[in-house]
Structure 1
Amino acid sequence: MSITQRLADLGLTLPQPPQALGQYHPWVRTGDLIFVSGQIPLLNGVLKYAGKLGADLDDADGYQAAKLAGLNVLAQLHAATQQFETLNSIVRLDGHIQCVPNWYNHAGVLDGASDLFAQVLNNRAGHARTVFGQTTLPLNAAVELVVIASVRSPTKSFAAGEGSHFS
């Protein structure tokens, strides 16, 4: 079953990949790796989960924030691979959780993204990961995800679909 079909079976719609919020590319592909810049829980261009875990948001909100940010990661990977055909696997997931100093469920919140990847990507979802607690994140986002994915080697390397080549 294709990744697109699994998304549909789960009742999920792949969003338009969010645009960069600054002077950078949302993703860069070089060799057999795609580096996805930080993805936050945006839905239709609007931040859905803002604030700190342990103060403004509970763990269930954080899990959903990580899941939504993960869906944006998949949108970026779809843009980079043009239909997911060349995606081998998620290699690394770094999760940044905006939280209060005495909150400690970082891993449980990041599971929102890891669980989504497992449901959608099956055997392509296995990854190493690290999670960090942060005092602030861009736009007051609850979660920000950074991903490295492995793909079948392209003939050329490029950034964000612009055809930029790197040596």
Structure 2
Amino acid sequence: MEVVRTERMVLSRVRPEDLEAVHEIHSDPRTNVHSSAGPTVDMEASLVMLDLWLADWAERGIGYWAARLPERPQVLGIGGLRYAPLEGEDVLHLYYRFRPTAWGHGYATELARAALRVGRGLGTVVALIGDGNEPSRRVAEKAGLHRERPIRYGGVPSDLYVA
């Protein structure tokens, strides 16, 4: 699970060396249009986020990947599965966020499908998609998730998608 190959990408567990890419992706206002938290404002906040993801791998054996094209060092995006509490249950939260230059190529859907294969049998896989986030909704549906119901998550109106 630490390294997964898809048709076009190599998905490998995030590493401390990915900090700059994590910050670039999460601090870009374009990647945060639908994020209630908005862009990550400084490298320290990105480090806190990355440390959380590194702990997921160390403690739970599953977490987010850095998505790259084979033989290319640039991180195209971050995504995968991590355990998260939802309404008193520990679920696998599906996440995907890519650089704007990677949008429109189907990479997020490819990553989401790989994550669903990895997560099969490990627990309930969900995606929480904020109102108006049509690109994320399309990715979830193409990957095979279905909308279960509306939900408020982190105080934000969202839809709960389930695999």
Range of TM-score over shorter length: 0.3 to 0.5
Structure (1 or 2) with the larger CA radius of gyration: 1
With a CA cutoff of 8 Å and minimum separation of 6, indicate the structure with the bigger relative contact order.
Answer: 1
Q: Which has the higher strand share?
A: 2
